[in-house]
């Protein structure tokens, strides 16, 4: 039986890597294989009548938003405008796998030109038809052609629409690996969420990506079926739609919950302070919950930082501040227009967790990077910052209020403006992952 199933799986090789890790541009699958797959693939809307809850959850997910995202399109256009373009399907292959495979996404193709299935981005059949295992970092490249939709239920029931197959690997992190590791056209691993998980303690504990990102519910898998244990399909991470898209508010809540249960922050500060003493504060961020780096994924866009403010408790006067934003909503780094113009001081104490794509040692776009500099916190590791805050002239005159927040956003505003998407800055949420407030008496 196993040999029969394997014989019905088409191997669509979209890319490979040699032993040195250098990527090879993807080859095209055979036309007859694509034609056979095209006859099998169904739209998510065709799944909805039998799987309404799955469809409802997926429809507000970033998987459904993947090819609607204006940030994605702006970055893809920026890549295509560069020379030389090594692989014009590099971005499309994960954001709309069937659109790319079926030849609907040549350079310049607009969203309205795509078929319904292509516009659905990472639609149901991407995961429920993909053949596993599939290599990490090169998108989904193999699909089964027997028409069976696979799931993680050991005794699936066939139906009038499709055969059903049990695939236990669909509940494993390996199912996420094709797109949640990303090798750029030069073969460089520019996103490594799957690799970070694999190198953490979680594989040994049997904790997969789905445990956190596709939590279990007990309810019917299909209309009229008995209740069974199934994964939710919202698949929240840290991204949220910036343009109009259904379910944004619900997704914001799910993202906030994940971020507020991702790390632990501890603050060490004196309860009492002499009027002429230096205030010393220590902040530790422990990534002891999450099974990958914090932040992860597109770290050259992510911003996670510590905001620390010392005020006078009665006057409200600010004696010290790091991690605060400028008038444009940017952190006070060298990317800030306010800092560049001298209207705001550079934040030299800023503790910012992010990353930088590098080409020949200089910052570059991730698709042309030779390396990535990671300034993240690995799983089950921690980072500590110490702050020395000098008293004002004449010493401290009032009780102090210490406020510390660990904050996160998916993109910096300056990047959105550089992509011509400045109108979306107001829809870019900042999440407070951890916060603590202390009062320091004087003696």
Query: What H or E segment, with its residue span, contains residue 386?
Result: strand 381-389
| Strand 272-273 relative to strand 431-442, pairing | parallel
* Distance, CA of 316 to CA of 117 (rounded, Å): 56
Pairing type for strands 216-220 and 400-409 reads unpaired
pTM over 0.85: yes
Give 21-27's long-range contacts (Cβ < 8 A, gap of 24+): 21/187, 21/189, 22/186, 22/187, 23/138, 23/183, 23/184, 23/185, 23/186, 23/187, 23/188, 24/187, 25/86, 25/87, 25/185, 26/87, 26/89, 26/93, 26/138, 26/141
Quick check: 11 pLDDT over 60?
A: no
Task: Kindly report, residue by residue over 387-427, the tens digit of the pLDDT.
Answer: 999 999 999 999 999 999 999 999 999 999 999 999 999 99
| Maximum Cα–Cα distance across the chain | 84
Q: Can you give the pLDDT at residue 26?
A: 52
Indicate if the pLDDT at residue 232 is higher than 70: yes
Query: How far from 235 is each of 64, 138, 209, 211, 427, CA to CA, in Å?
Result: 10, 20, 10, 10, 21
Are the C-beta atoms of 428 and 242 separated by less than 8 Å?
Answer: yes
pLDDT in tens, 56-97: 999 999 999 999 999 999 999 999 998 788 899 999 999 999
């Amino acid at each position: 039986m196993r040999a029969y199933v394997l014989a019905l799986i088409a191997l669509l090789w979209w890319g490979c890597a040699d032993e040195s890790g250098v990527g090879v541009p993807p080859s095209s699958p055979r036309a007859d294989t694509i034609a056979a797959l095209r006859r099998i693939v169904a739209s998510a809307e065709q799944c909805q009548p039998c799987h309404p809850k799955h469809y409802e959850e997926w429809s507000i997910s970033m998987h459904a938003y993947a090819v609607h995202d204006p940030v994605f399109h702006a970055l893809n256009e920026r890549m295509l405008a560069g020379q030389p373009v090594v692989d014009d399907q590099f971005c499309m292959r994960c954001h709309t796998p069937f659109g790319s495979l079926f030849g609907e996404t040549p350079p310049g193709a607009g969203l309205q030109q795509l078929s319904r299935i292509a516009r659905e981005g990472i639609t149901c059949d991407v995961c429920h038809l993909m053949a596993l295992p599939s290599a990490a970092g090169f998108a989904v490249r193999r699909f089964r052609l027997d028409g069976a939709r696979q799931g993680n239920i050991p005794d699936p029931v066939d139906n009038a629409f499709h055969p059903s197959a049990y695939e236990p690997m669909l509940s494993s992190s390996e199912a996420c690996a094709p797109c949640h590791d990303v090798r750029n056209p030069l073969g460089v691993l520019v996103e490594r969420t799957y690799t970070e998980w694999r190198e953490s303690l979680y594989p040994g504990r049997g904790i997969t990506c789905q445990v956190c990102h596709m939590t279990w519910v007990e309810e019917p898998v299909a209309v009229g079926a008995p209740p069974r244990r199934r994964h939710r399909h919202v698949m929240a991470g840290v991204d949220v739609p910036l343009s109009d898209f259904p379910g944004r508010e619900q997704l914001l809540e799910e993202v906030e919950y994940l971020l507020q249960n991702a790390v632990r922050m501890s603050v060490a500060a004196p309860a009492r302070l002499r009027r002429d003493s230096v205030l010393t504060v220590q902040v530790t961020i422990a990534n002891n919950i999450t099974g990958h780096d914090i932040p992860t994924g597109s770290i050259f866009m992510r911003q996670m930082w510590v905001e620390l403010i010392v005020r006078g408790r009665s006057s409200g006067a600010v004696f010290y501040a790091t991690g605060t934003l400028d008038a444009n909503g940017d952190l006070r780094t060298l990317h800030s227009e306010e800092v560049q113009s001298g209207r705001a001081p550079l934040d030299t104490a800023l503790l910012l967790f992010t990353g930088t794509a590098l080409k020949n040692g200089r910052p570059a776009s991730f698709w042309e990077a030779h390396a990535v500099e990671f300034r993240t916190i690995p799983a089950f590791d921690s980072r500590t910052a110490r702050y020395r805050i000098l008293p004002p002239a004449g010493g401290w005159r009032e009780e102090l209020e210490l406020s510390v927040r660990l904050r996160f956003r998916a993109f910096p505003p300056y990047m959105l403006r550089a992509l011509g998407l400045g109108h979306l800055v107001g829809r870019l949420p900042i999440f407070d992952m951890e916060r603590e407030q202390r009062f320091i008496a004087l003696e």
